[in-house]
Amino acid sequence: MESTSPNYLKPLCFIFFFFLQSTTASSPPLLPKEALPTKSGYLPVNPTTGSAIFYTFYEAQNPISPLSQTPLLIWLQGGPGCSSMIGNFFELGPWRVNFNKQPSEPLALEPNSGSWNRIFGLLFLDNPIGTGFSIASTPQEIPRDQFGVSKHLFAAITNFVGLDHMFKSRPIYITGESYAGKYIPAIGYYILKRNAELSKSRRVNLAGVAIGDGLTDPVIQVATHAVNAYFSGLINERQKHELEELQLEAVKLTEAGNWSEATNGRSRVLQRLQNMTGLATLYDYTKNVPYKSSLVEDLLRHEEVKKALGVSNVSIVFEECSDLVGEVLHEDVMKSVKYMVEFLVRKSKVLLYQGQFDLRDGVVSTEAWMKTMKWEGMEKFLLADRKVWKLSGETAGYVQKWGSMSHVVVSGAGHLLPADQPLRAQAMIEDWVLDEGFFANVQEENLTSICY
């Protein structure tokens, strides 16, 4: 078909087209070469069906020498069903989305000075299958409980360790936040139980677990929301009693083993608390707007990014959190894994940490179940000082430690703690892994953490 444009417009159209092409060609890639993972792709959990866990791995930027002894951190997101790419590109990975940008500014990645791979290797796993870019061959294969989750994670971790002979000797620390407060104890427990049955060459070199703002013992934690909100000045006494009635209902349903309705009961508590307070988010009661983690979803829906990360099916539409996985694990929500933490604190070391402003799975919630743990060191832990932790002259938080148990409250942070306070989170995890600063095994007075 012939053009019907006037002749004098043709040069202008050409100029505009040339300008558009030049602008497009000069746009920087959303995932620059320097931001690419060291390794990424899929770790089979069931070779027969093709189900697999998606991973991204970043080697240490300044590894502890020798590399064969440099710790490996594994990060698991919560949900259930939320992608660990949130942790990667919003919280603690080496490159994060520019979530402080103005609405008119383009989406981009920027270096994260608080990355957890500064001196450690860092592995992100989209767990369970069906989450993020992970592959569930059928909905029926998605785990319905923590045993199923652990079985798949164990397969993924052992397959990852098999990718490089040097991974075998490196100490492994399982970390994560929120609903991973159940995944982490479960896989840690599973690893130690399996290690006892395996030859030394086939064991997973687990050294410790770290749980951030976790849901671990839900029946105790659900009963803390009213008192927490009341003493934070967010609700009055009448509202406190109203919330306590809803909490008691959730507790009774849990004690009766009515798991699905117990989960619904907890949801009613949180929804009523949200309505009472009018907060932008229960994850941080100081915020005027929710976390902008949806920017990660925007990033990972670009085909160029999916190709660069090795996503097997680039037509997949990435979602921050999978409703399907959440539905499958609905009956698992109110089940406790506290006994697994009790086992782990005897066999390895445990770090529990929370952001000071988290109203959902925060300090009050965690301390309530911690003090009920059956562990021979608990009495001494409860008597230990809660020390003021300073970094660069500022109060960074508070640390309590005895033996293999450590508890940290990070100042100025909410539920997505590494996003709020990246340098404090980085210093905390490094000191804990290396047994330095307040985490040193020698109990000393006035011991301060290394500043970074």
What three-state secondary structure class fits 24? helix
As given in the structure block, the two tokens for residue 29 are 């890639």
Residues 229-256 pLDDT 10s = 999 999 999 999 999 999 999 999 999 9
Mean pLDDT of 285-298: 96
Tell me: pLDDT of 362 over 70.
yes
Percent of the chain with pLDDT over 70: 92
Q: Which of 41, 347, 370 has the alpha carbon at shortest distance from 224? A: 370
Mean pLDDT of 109-137: 97
Amino acid at 78: G
Mean pLDDT of 89-114: 94
Tell me: pLDDT of 22 over 80.
no
Q: Are 82 and 289 in contact (CB under 8 A)?
A: no
Tell me: pLDDT of 317 over 50.
yes
Mean pLDDT of 340-361: 97
Helices and strands counted in the chain (H then E): 16, 12
Among 407, 415, 420, 431, which one carries the catalytic annotation?
A: 415
Interatomic CA distance for residues 91 and 280, integer angstroms: 19
pLDDT band at 1 (very low <50, low <70, confident <90, very high): very low
Among 358, 361, 420, 431, which one carries the catalytic annotation?
A: 358
Task: Write b or e for each residue in 308-326: b if 16 or more Cβ atoms lie within 10 A of its Cβ, otherwise e.
Answer: bbbbeeeeeebbbbbeebb
pLDDT band at 26 (very low <50, low <70, confident <90, very high): low
Q: What pLDDT score does 201 carry?
A: 84
Query: Could you give phi then psi for residue 53, rounded to 5 degrees?
Result: -100, 130
Q: Which of 356, 350, 345 has the alpha carbon at shortest distance from 424? A: 356
Q: Which of 140, 88, 72 has the alpha carbon at shortest distance from 327? A: 140
**Residue 415 annotated in active site:** yes
Poorest-confidence range of 252-256, 322-326, 332-336, 440-444? 440-444
As given in the structure block, the two tokens for residue 229 are 């909100």
Q: What pLDDT score does 442 carry?
A: 54
Tell me: pLDDT of 81 over 70.
yes
Mean pLDDT of 184-209: 94
pLDDT band at 104 (very low <50, low <70, confident <90, very high): confident
Which residues are within 8 A (CB) of 303 and not within 5 positions of it... i.e. 6 or more apart? 314
As given in the structure block, the two tokens for residue 396 are 């960074």
Q: What pLDDT score does 441 carry?
A: 76
Tell me: pLDDT of 445 over 60.
no
Backbone dihedral region of 435: left (phi > 0), alpha (psi from -120 to 50 degrees) or beta?
left
Tell me: pLDDT of 267 over 60.
yes
Per DSSP, 252 falls in state H
**Residue 358 annotated in active site:** yes
Which residues are within 8 A (CB) of 449 and not within 5 positions of it... i.e. 6 or more apart? 389, 390, 391, 396, 399, 427, 431, 436, 437, 438
Q: Mean pLDDT of all residues in the chain?
A: 92
Q: What pLDDT score does 450 carry?
A: 35
Q: What pLDDT score does 4 carry?
A: 40
Among 51, 178, 404, 406, which one carries the catalytic annotation?
A: 178
pLDDT band at 64 (very low <50, low <70, confident <90, very high): confident
**Residue 84 annotated in active site:** no
Tell me: pLDDT of 257 over 50.
yes
Mean pLDDT of 286-304: 95
Residues 27-54 pLDDT 10s = 778 899 999 999 999 999 998 999 999 9
Which residues are within 8 A (CB) of 183 and not within 5 positions of it... i.e. 6 or more apart? 76, 78, 127, 146, 149, 150, 153, 176
Work out whether strand 72-76 and strand 121-125 pair parallel, antiparallel, or are unpaired: parallel
